[in-house]
């Protein structure tokens, strides 16, 4: 990128922002991953912002934004709307700077995120059942009270704050060739991409930046194709932290200038990535924070030399983690749910269980019913939940059952 096409913060802006946030944002670890390196064919490092204070990178942009307010603005207080990480970042930054904070959150927000936001000293108001309703409520609160509305991504000071992560990445791995970053509204990737590209240009180097979105909330591919920020309809996704229907205006302009490619991943691919991070890296990461790893595992990015993957957050509700792990096991074919029609006579359940055991698979749950759809009057249906070692082992179990005359159906 050239100085003539520069949009948003300058390198000096990013460096000044780092001076401001360095007292609160920690220098998170950069961990190598042999498993991902084998998958990609080049060295891979994980930038662990899931270990950041408040559990995500959001503290960077929030603190930089709030620290830049005038004394008069600070006295009016701040207001924000969020279902998670932005709420905690703003609440934490407000506490550190002595600013009154009001955070609007949806009624169904995960309890750990709600409690953490309150623990940081913010007044939390529960409003509505989607993120849009708290956003409208926060805007109205700002209009009627004079509180400063803190946007989660579409503000130059937020971008500058998030870009401090890019400077940290560059300093920790000056030999990097590629950085992979999750995208929601674009605050993180616009800051990281711009900061890294400017540092690399100053050093006479080139660094490739790849963004990753959840396939069910992928506004950037559509917007980049049309050339303007475009609103899309979001479908449900486990990566709710990056489920944003329209790119930020400033973020879009920066992304268009600095990001080389945007790819998407499915929920199944994200769930598998979370499982890999737990098992191989011993890291707890929220779904939105794991999409970069999902892109690597799914072959969505090409080997581009030394690669850094940003793990943007680790704030995952334990109940959600349980569901995602189960989802990831199923997606990896390590957990099979089978439906098998059987003759209605004694001994059939024992026989099927014995066949599964012969394959060294483990039955963890059984449901036996006469009321399945499509069953003949002389049949019952057996539903088996089985643990396997992966897709090859799962196929062995299925083949064994078929060889013995059964007709197992995998139920996803």
The residue behind tokens 């890294």 is 196
- For 3-56+155-329, give the CATH class: alpha beta
Tokens standing for 139?
Answer: 């805007």
143 vs 7, 147, 328, CA distance in Å?
A: 29, 7, 44
Q: Which of 153, 293, 312, 314 is nearest to 219 (CA)?
A: 153
Instruction: State the DSSP H helix or E strand holding residue 341, giving kind and residue range, or none if neither.
Output: strand 335-343
**Is 333-410 in the same CATH topology as 3-56+155-329?**
no
Residue 32: helix, strand or coil by DSSP? strand
| Mean pLDDT for all residues in the chain | 92
Average pLDDT of span 23-33: 97
- Given pLDDT bands bounded at 50, 70 and 90, which one contains residue 375? low
Q: Does domain 58-149 have CATH number 2.40.10.10?
A: no
Cα gap 330→199, rounded to integer Å: 42
| pLDDT (0 to 100) of residue 3 | 47
Query: Which residues sit opposite 125 in a β-bridge?
Result: 104
Whole-model pTM: value is 0.85
CA-CA-CA-CA torsion for 370, 375, 379, 385, nearest 10 degrees? -70
Give the β-pairing of 379-387 and 307-311: unpaired
pLDDT tens-place string over residues 318-358: 888 888 887 777 777 788 888 888 888 888 888 888 999 99
Tokens standing for 59?
Answer: 């503290």
Query: Which residues sit opposite 336 in a β-bridge?
Result: 386
DSSP structure class, residue 347: T
Tokens standing for 41?
Answer: 């064919």
Q: Looking at per-residue confidence, does 384 or 295 come out higher?
A: 295
Cα gap 214→238, rounded to integer Å: 9
The answer to whether 127 touches 133, Cβ cutoff 8 Å, is yes
CATH dotted code for 333-410: 3.30.70.260
| pLDDT (0 to 100) of residue 370 | 66
Cα gap 143→125, rounded to integer Å: 16
Q: Looking at per-residue confidence, does 132 or 264 come out higher?
A: 264
Give the β-pairing of 123-126 and 101-105: parallel
Tokens standing for 26?
Answer: 């920690």
Q: Which of 171, 168, 190 is nearest to 181 (CA)?
A: 190
Q: Burial of 274 by CB count in 10 Å (0-12 exposed, 13-18 middle, 19+ buried)?
A: buried
| pLDDT (0 to 100) of residue 2 | 45
Kindly calculate the radius of gyration of the chain based on its CA atoms and give it in whole angstroms: 24
Low-confidence winner among 77-86, 181-190, 208-217, 377-386 (lowest mean pLDDT): 377-386
pLDDT tens-place string over residues 51-72: 999 999 999 999 999 999 999 9
Average pLDDT of span 275-303: 95
pLDDT tens-place string over residues 151-191: 999 999 999 999 999 999 999 999 999 999 999 999 999 99
The answer to whether 281 touches 292, Cβ cutoff 8 Å, is no
DSSP structure class, residue 246: S
Residue 305 has pLDDT above 80, yes or no: yes
Provide the percentage of residues in the chain whose pLDDT is more than 70.
Answer: 96
Report the largest interatomic distance among the alpha carbons of the chain, rounded to a whole angstrom. Answer: 81
Cα gap 177→300, rounded to integer Å: 17
Angle between helices 11-21 and 187-202 (to 10 degrees): 120
**What phi and psi, each to the nearest 5 degrees, are found at residue 99?**
-110, 140
What are the boundaries of each domain within the chain? 3-56+155-329, 58-149, 333-410
Residue 231: helix, strand or coil by DSSP? coil
Query: Which residues sit opposite 335 in a β-bridge?
Result: 387
Kindly report the three-state secondary structure assignment for every residue of 41-110. CCCEEEEEHHHCHHHECHHHHHHHHHHCCCHHHHHHCEEEECCCHHHHHHHHHHHHHCCCEEEEECCCCC
């Amino acid at each position: 990128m050239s100085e003539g096409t520069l949009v948003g913060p300058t390198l000096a802006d990013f460096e000044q922002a780092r001076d401001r946030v360095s007292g609160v944002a920690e220098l998170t670890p950069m961990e190598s991953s042999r498993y991902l390196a084998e998958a990609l064919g080049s060295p891979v490092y994980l930038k662990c912002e899931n270990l950041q204070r408040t559990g995500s990178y959001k503290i960077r942009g929030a603190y930089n934004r709030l620290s830049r307010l005038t004394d008069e603005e600070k006295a009016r207080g701040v207001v924000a709307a969020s279902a998670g990480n932005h709420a905690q970042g703003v609440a934490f930054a407000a506490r550190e700077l002595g600013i009154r904070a009001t955070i609007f959150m949806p009624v169904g927000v995960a309890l750990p995120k709600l409690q953490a936001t309150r623990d940081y000293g913010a007044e939390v108001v529960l409003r509505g059942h989607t993120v849009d309703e708290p956003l409208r409520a926060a805007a109205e609160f700002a209009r009627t009270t004079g509180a400063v509305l803190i946007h989660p991504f579409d503000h130059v000071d937020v971008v500058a704050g998030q870009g401090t992560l890019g400077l940290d990445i560059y300093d920790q791995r000056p030999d990097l060739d590629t950085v992979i970053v999750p995208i929601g509204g674009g605050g993180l990737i616009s800051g990281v991409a711009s900061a890294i590209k400017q540092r690399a240009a100053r050093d006479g180097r080139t660094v490739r930046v790849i963004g990753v979105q959840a396939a069910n909330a992928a506004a950037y591919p559509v917007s980049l194709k049309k050339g303007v920020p475009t609103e899309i309809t979001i479908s449900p996704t486990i990566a709710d932290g990056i489920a944003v229907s329209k790119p930020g205006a400033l973020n879009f302009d920066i992304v268009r200038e600095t990001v080389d490619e945007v790819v998407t991943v499915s929920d199944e691919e994200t769930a598998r990535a979370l499982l890999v991070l737990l098992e191989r890296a011993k890291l707890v990461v929220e779904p939105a924070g794991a999409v970069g790893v999902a892109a690597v595992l799914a072959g969505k990015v090409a080997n581009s030399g030394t690669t850094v993957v940003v793990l943007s957050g680790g704030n995952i509700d334990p109940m959600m983690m349980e569901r995602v792990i189960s989802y990831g096991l199923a997606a990896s074919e390590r957990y099979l749910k089978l439906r098998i029609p059987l003759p209605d006579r004694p001994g059939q359940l024992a026989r099927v269980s014995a066949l599964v055991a012969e394959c060294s698979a483990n039955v963890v749950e059984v449901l036996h019913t006469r009321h399945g759809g499509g069953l003949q009057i002389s049949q019952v249906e057996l539903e088996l939940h089985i643990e396997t070692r992966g897709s090859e082992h799962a196929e062995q179990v299925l083949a064994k059952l078929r060889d013995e005359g059964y007709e197992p159906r995998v139920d996803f």
